[in-house]
A = this chain, B = another copy of it.
Amino acid sequence: MNTIDKAPIEFYFDFSSPYGYFGSCRIDDIGQRHGREVIWRPYLMGAAMKLSGAKPLVERELICDYAHRDIPRSARRFGIPFNPPPPPFPLASIAACRVFYWLCDGDPAQARDFARRTYAALFVDGRNISEVDVVVDLASAAGANADDTRSALGDQAVKDRLRQETDGAIARGIFGSPYVIVDGEPFWGNDRLDEVDKWLETGGW
């Protein structure tokens, strides 16, 4: 697989987004099929939602009911393990995001392992990933030292790193989860990943 000349797929997501979770279970296969590296880029979608005028799904009448039906249906369609998370939901993903980038700057594969564990913790096991103890536990499972993880969570440089990532995402016009950019083309939503696949296959339209 020659990935030297091809731009990577950038995969933006928020850890509290079920559609982001579904995308995370599918995007690497799409990358592999087309010889593209996939860069995982969690960010704080809430900051973008303020700008885009969107409210969380659970606060939006009608759409909320639809989402409650569509989310498990989407999981079934793609054969992805899913259990509706218990309250509180949606929840703050800031600790998980900080740990992700702290790990990523050392070893992107380890960060991705952590991200997968975090999504499964929330959307399969129903754990509260907004809690520092849970995030430290998940980082440990991915091979990180627990004390180092706790230190990183309080490190100003790590906080700044996430802020830059989120500001950068918003500056690029990103507002959803998942949100994919490939060859300069943006695609919003798990329901557009088939389109990403087709775009890469055909060279676009």
Point out residues on A near B: beta carbons under 8 Å. Answer: 48, 51-55, 59-63, 65-66, 69-70, 73, 76-77, 170, 173-175, 185-186, 188-189, 191-192, 194-195, 205
By the criterion CB–CB under 8 Å, are B69 and A186 in contact? yes
- Residues of B near A76 (CB, < 8 A) are 205
Copies in the complex: 2
Whole-angstrom CA separation of A66 from B170 in the bound complex: 12
Please name 7 further chain A to chain B contacts, defined as beta carbons within 8 Å, in addition to the given A52-B60, A70-B188, sorted by A numbering. A54-B60, A62-B170, A63-B175, A66-B173, A70-B186, A73-B185, A194-B194
- Residues of B near A53 (CB, < 8 A) are 55, 59-61, 63
Enumerate 20 A-B pairs (CB-CB under 8 Å) in ascending A order.
Answer: A48-B62, A51-B61, A51-B62, A52-B60, A52-B61, A52-B62, A53-B55, A53-B59, A53-B63, A54-B60, A54-B63, A62-B170, A62-B175, A69-B186, A70-B188, A73-B205, A76-B205, A77-B195, A191-B191, A191-B192
By the criterion CB–CB under 8 Å, are A173 and B62 in contact? yes
- Residues of B near A174 (CB, < 8 A) are 62
